[in-house]
Amino acid sequence: MLLVAEPRHHARAAPAERDHGRQGAIPPLALGALGVVFGSIGTSPLYAMDLIARVARFRTPEDAIGAASLAIWSLAIVVAIQYPLLVLRAQNDGEGGLFALYGLLHDRRDRRARLLLWILIAGAGLLIGDGMITPAISVLSAVEGLGVAAPGLAPAVIPITLGLLIALFCVQYQGSSNVGSVFGPIVLVWFFVIAALGVAAIAASPKILIAVNPVHALDFLDRAGPYGVLVLLGALMLVVAGGEAMYADVGHFGDAPIRLAWFAVVFPALLLNYLGQSAVLLSGAPVAGDKLFFALGPGWLLMPLVALATAATIIASQSLITGAFSLVSQAIRLGLFPRIDIQHTHHAHEGQVYVPVVNWALLLGCVALVLGFRTSSALAAAYGLAVAGVMVITSIAMIPIARRHWRWSVALIALVWGPLVTVNAAFFAASLLKLMEGGFVPVAVGAAAFALMATWRWGRKATYAAHNAKATLTMSEVVTLHRASRVFLERSAVIMSPRPLRTLADRAPSLIRLIAERTGMLPRNLLFVEVRHTKAPYIHGSRYQVTVFDRSDQRGSVIAVEIAFGFLEEPDVEKALEDLARHKEIDLPTDPHHWIVHVMHDHLLPARRSNVLKRMRLRLFLFLRAVSRPAYSYYGLGDAVQLTIEVIPVRLR
């Protein structure tokens, strides 16, 4: 007997329903987005124009005008046009980010698509590196204002910066929900202040307003020469860095609030401030400590401005840190990262998580960067390369998205994405010039993260293939043995399956043969459970598929259950099985304390013919598996239920 049932379940609200609930709350969500989404790009005026002025070596007033024109048109093209108007349309079930793109493209089977998927994984590694650099440069640049306001405090800049960073990372375990409500208002004040400072400086040198004409930017680039153009673009990357957060956080706020916050507040404030800083250069006024931003304010305002800048940079750092936590948790659920410990910091929001290993690794990296580079201007060389890589990867991925999902013509794709890919590629190439000056930091972190993800993905696939190669029983043979049994183990046994079991021809986990051989009998009720992680953020409709292979009041049952989770959902298998047991879809006691879960521990052996590199890869995978939480624990089966663990030797091919 073979029966497929679709049981009752509790499904997550569809994106349309969630969006409907947001429609009346767009202004509050836009206010919240100011702190979470735009904290990084919003604090870039603290250091971006300083680097541009340093590398451009202004000689004439036209140079200051050209620099201002470059800054505002870079913001307009790379950020304002590309992200809110185009990229935000590429949502995967209401979510965005590199892993959302991964999900949208994962079912393509051609070689170019597979290469693009690997590039997206590399981009995720770069974002982790960016999460290390942004807190360091942001907080350091704000605290450096003390040296401008009170030169005698300059020696205290490094200790204060380190103290703030350590305190920031030490409170991460509490979650960001308690302080998130004040993020938006503080950053709104920040944008108002930087806009007002810019307006005051523009009023003193109104000639700077001609910088809105892009001809001045092109003339400035022409005077710089080929190599000078690359150097300038590398510095300009700091102006646009942080714009990619719009896409990463679209699932938290929605595209409409993000667009409102950008065009109504962030974009105008940034334009006014960069024009104001360029006006200071145009006027020839002295700049204390080479900190253009703090030259915008009068002396009496410097200390309050330093305090506000510090608060804004801490908020910007907080969003990058929580973004790194979210990125790693998504990678785990997609099978791209070991199952390390994840703690949920809010009972009502699955996305608010704390990952201890990532937290302390980021702290160590930030401390090393501050001690190694000492100043924000020096650290700026390490900043931007990771974001430039993510931006060019995103723009390339948009081409198949536009073709496949938006049904754009080849001509329209070439007209829109051709120039954008070219501009992003130019910024990335320019950022590579800073590789030896500090750009190697995000590259090294990204490469390490990519190596871990690639090794983990390979090891899981190799283990799965090795299990498939082992001789095992089919489900038809399991049913035959079960029906022929006269004596049973009086228990309800749960066996985790690495593959879906839907037909009698499917092969059962090798663990069932081991149980039968060691005990001489089978459990009365056999339940095979396969957990499937989709490339979609959420599961809508039924997440269960129950296949009843055999069921009898006298003999018991043989049932297989497939449970699906999206990569933004908490995979609580115990709760799912309790739900199925309550509705009598499976033969399990409703109390998990009466279950017995049988799991395997693979003793992995290298292939008989493997070179040194392959053996090193296997050792790295074994290390990752040693620090990874066991699957049964990760799926919520390690606390209340009884466990039996069988060790099975598996030789990789």
Q: What is the pLDDT of residue 268?
A: 97
The pLDDT confidence band at residue 15, using thresholds 50, 70 and 90, is very low
Mean pLDDT throughout 560-589? 86
**Residue pair 586/558 in contact by the 8 Å Cβ criterion:** no
pLDDT digits (tens, 9 = 90+) for 169-181: 988 877 655 545 5
pTM score, whole prediction: 0.79
What six digits make up the tokens of 555?
Answer: 């003999």
pLDDT of residue 132: 83
The pair of structure tokens assigned to 597 is 């879960």
Local confidence band at 509 (pLDDT 50, 70, 90 cut-offs): confident
Per-residue pLDDT band for 208 (boundaries 50, 70, 90) equals: very high
Residue 468 CA: distances (Å) to CA of 20, 511, 653: 46, 12, 11
Confidence (pLDDT) at 267: 96
Average pLDDT over residues 528-532: 90
pLDDT at 621 over 60: yes
* Whole-number pLDDT of residue 1: 38
State mean pLDDT over 44-54.
Answer: 88
**If you average pLDDT over each of 51-65, 109-123, 413-427, 598-612, which comes out highest?**
413-427
Per-residue pLDDT at 100 exceeds 90: no
- List all residues 6 or more positions away from 140 whose beta carbon is below 8 Å from its beta carbon: 157, 161, 370, 375, 376, 379
Q: Which of 214-218, 459-463, 548-552 has the lowest mean pLDDT?
A: 459-463
**What does the domain layout of the chain look like in residue ranges?**
15-458, 471-651
Name the pLDDT band for 436 (thresholds 50, 70, 90): confident
Contacts of 179 (CB under 8 A, 6+ apart): 318
Residue 541 per-residue DSSP state: S
pLDDT band at 182, cuts 50/70/90? low
Number of helices (H), then strands (E), in the chain:
27, 9
Does the pLDDT at position 200 exceed 70? Answer: yes
Specify the CATH architecture of the domain 15-458: Up-down Bundle (1.20)
